[in-house]
Structure 1
Amino acid sequence: MILAARGRPNASIAVETGVHVDTVRTWRGRFAEGGLPALADRKRSGRPARFPPVQVAEAKALACQLPAETGVPLARWSCPELAAELTARGVTDSISASTVRRWLRQDAIRPWQYRSWIFIRDPDFRAKAQRVLDLYARTYEGEPLGADEYVISSDEKTSIQARCRCHPSLAPGQAKAMRVNHEYGRGGALAYLAAYDVHQAKAFGRCEATTGIVLVMALVEQVMAQEPYAGTKRVFWIVDNGSSHRGKTSIDRLAARFPNAFWSTPPG
């Protein structure tokens, strides 16, 4: 809409935003008919989801365990056995094997396929997973989040190699393949700290020589110092159980610096 307000044609907007021109035309038409409120999501047809996200998460967490660890005399889980176990544990009243199979098939990471993975079963898994999944669904303690409440997902990635090719790639031409030089100029290893507004699709990041409490707080400062986060009601930060943001000391540190910001950690 901003580009349209500047007088840009549909084709130009489509190229710049990477969407089809028909999509641009549709959204401009909706705005012309109903103004800004018309850009909000419309009510979707179809039956509401029967299983909440926390039940899906518990099913995948169970799939990550060896059956023997839960006292089930099986070498590995099958979808019917998983469905039966979920019902026996009271996770669901009833569930079909095909539903469990669909959940597992749709997962992008599929950690249950890796035996070398470390699966930590937090005794408070359900409560912690429920809180995080609710925030992703714009709910907190049973109440919908307001327009002045935001959810930020944050993480740190260490030891990323900073490097670039010594010579740029040469573009292909007629009867000539692209030529790519294989030598790199290495700039050492860096850490990347990232924050992502999960509902506004906005990303923030910074490169540092290492990670730590001071640098994590620098990322928080980078986000919280700008609007809409600086002056909004609440900003929920979803972080892992890393030492830079774990425990009551970290919670108190964040609250003292930004009274409207809150840590929320998934089960670990």
Structure 2
Amino acid sequence: MPLCRARPITLTASQRRRLKQIAYSHTAPYQYVIRVRIILDAGHGYSNTRIAQRRGVSVDTVRLWRGRYNSDDGLKSLADRPRSGRPPTFTPVQRAEIKALACRLPAETGVPLSQWSCSEPAAETLARGIAVAISASTVRRILADDAIKPWQHQSWIFIRDPQFAAKATRVLDLYAHLWDGEPLGDDEYVISADEKTSIQARCRCHPTLPPGKSRMMRVNHDDERGGALAYLAACDIHQAHVMGRCSPKTGIVPFTELIDQVMTAEPYASAKRVFWIVDNGSSHRGKAAANRLATRYPNAVMVHTPVHGSWINQIEIFFSIVQRKVVSPNDFTSLDQIEDRLIAFERRYNATARPFRWKFTPADLEDLLARIERHEQKESNLQHEHDHQPAALDAMA
């Protein structure tokens, strides 16, 4: 009987160049690279047995891809052919019902939970007869199609201040050296002030260990409480200069002492105007606080951020730096040590500080308010649909 000869393969220069690029690729799939190398060896005239030895595959594998290669289709002939795969276990209706169940609050279905995990919707699916059998991992894959994650939650808040836009715009204008549409003069300053409350002295029962080779810093969990204090600070946002003080507690008197510390020093004592940006904390809330400041220092103007708008106050950025670099991890033997550390850090910060690169403008504020309005309208529509949708899932229970 005549022997079955291997199919000869002839490669053009461009085909060989393209195949070599893939054969030495570090990103192409490994099996695809092996198939390309088989074709290259065949193009050099090697036998199937020799190619199998060179590439570490069976002769049948070489024969398969050598026979399947078609110079007209080129690299497409070396790709995997479409596979039908296993038929879906759950119908589209079942999948939709599982997603609808996960999108309802557990309390609405009578389940005493605050939020779903994957195991509870799986059990509820079986209890309602939506499916005969289903696992928690299957529920996770079904929910992943629409990026539904009922085991997560996010806090959010409605804007309740009817003058939110006007108040926020005044603050943002001050950051841009404007007041009532007019540029600020060289003898006008903007101060951002607030209190960082309840900084505790937590003396660890065992000393904190410094980091070492393959080991991060270690802080003992057990501690002894040594009381707490408040850190009050005022930042000249255009000069990047912080003035602060510590107090056993917050209130009108400690905040007034901070104002005195700033307003009796130059250049603020002789300034034309000094704008104080504050939030709505109890020690500087409302018109009464503004009147107290104006009576005590006629050249001072108090500007309040909107309710729930303290994120506009730049002093919060400085407090976040203090929290990361000074307070955490909390390991202080006494309140005096905390105060010394805060004041020392304040001097260190002022030596190299630069103004914050504030990028949130009144135009960005308008965009934010528009997005919030659209979101609230969408939530209102969804709630309306939810209140009027048929209780189909409850009927299935």
TM-score by length of 2: 0.36
Which residues of 2 match residues 117-156 of structure 1 at below 5 A? 117-156=156-195
Which residues of 2 match residues 18-97 of structure 1 at below 5 A? none
Larger Rg: 2
Q: CA deviation at 1:245?
A: 1.4
Cα 1:176/1:230, change in 2 over 3 Å: same
Q: Deviations over 1:159-216 (max 9, x none)?
A: 2212344554454678998665554342212222221111111112222222111111
Q: In the alignment, what sits opposite 1:65? A: none
Q: CA deviation at 1:264?
A: 0.2
Q: Does 2:305 align with 1:263? A: no
Q: Does 2:296 align with 1:252? A: no
Q: Over the residues paired in the alignment, what is the CA RMSD in angstroms?
A: 2.6
Cα 1:175/1:238, change in 2 over 3 Å: closer
Q: What amino acid is the match of 2:304?
A: T
Measured in 2, the distance between the counterparts of 1:181 and 1:211 equals 30
Q: In the alignment, what sits opposite 2:105? A: none
Q: In the alignment, what sits opposite 1:217? A: 256
Q: Deviations over 1:28-76 (max 9, x none)?
A: xxxxxxxxxxxxxxxxxxxxxxxxxxxxxxxxxxxxxxxxxxxxxxxxx
| Structure 2, unpaired ranges of 5+ | 1-151, 308-397
Q: CA deviation at 1:152?
A: 0.8
User: After the TM superposition, which of the residue ranges 218-227 and 188-197 deviates more from structure 2?
Assistant: 188-197
Q: CA deviation at 1:115?
A: 4.5
SS in 1 for 2:161: coil
Cα 1:232/1:168, change in 2 over 3 Å: farther
User: After the TM superposition, which of the residue ranges 175-184 and 241-250 deviates more from structure 2?
Assistant: 175-184
Q: What amino acid is the match of 1:130?
A: T
Q: Does 2:117 align with 1:116? A: no
Measured in 1, the distance between the counterparts of 2:174 and 2:219 equals 45
Measured in 1, the distance between the counterparts of 2:288 and 2:257 equals 17
Aligned residues: 156
Measured in 1, the distance between the counterparts of 2:242 and 2:153 equals 30
TM-score by length of 1: 0.51
Q: Residue 242 of structure 1: which of 281, 286, 302 is its match?
A: 281
Q: In the alignment, what sits opposite 1:205? A: 244
Measured in 2, the distance between the counterparts of 1:141 and 1:158 equals 33
Measured in 2, the distance between the counterparts of 1:222 and 1:214 equals 12
Q: CA deviation at 1:240?
A: 0.7
Cα 1:240/1:179, change in 2 over 3 Å: closer
Q: CA deviation at 1:254?
A: 0.6
Measured in 1, the distance between the counterparts of 2:216 and 2:237 equals 41
